[in-house]
Structure 1
Amino acid sequence: MTAIEAASFASPWPGYFFQAGILHKQAHPLVCLTLPGKALAGYLCLWLQDHEIQIQNLAVHPAFRGRGVGRHLLQKGLDLSLELGAREAVLEVRPSNLAARRLYRSLNFSEIGRKPGYYTNDGEDALILFLDLKNTFQPSTVD
Structure 2
Amino acid sequence: MSLVILCVGNLIINGFIAWTVIFLPLVMLPLILLSLGLSLILSSLGVFFRDIQHILVVLVQGLMFLSPIFYPISIIPEALRPIYYINPIGYVVEDMRNIFIWGNIPNWTWCIFGTIIGSAVFLLGYAWFKKTKGAFADVL
TM exceeds 0.5?
Answer: no
More helix by share: 2
TM-score normalized by the length of structure 2 = 0.25
Q: What is the TM-score of this pair, normalised by structure 1?
A: 0.25
Q: Which one scores higher on RCO, CA 8 angstroms, separation ≥ 6? A: 2
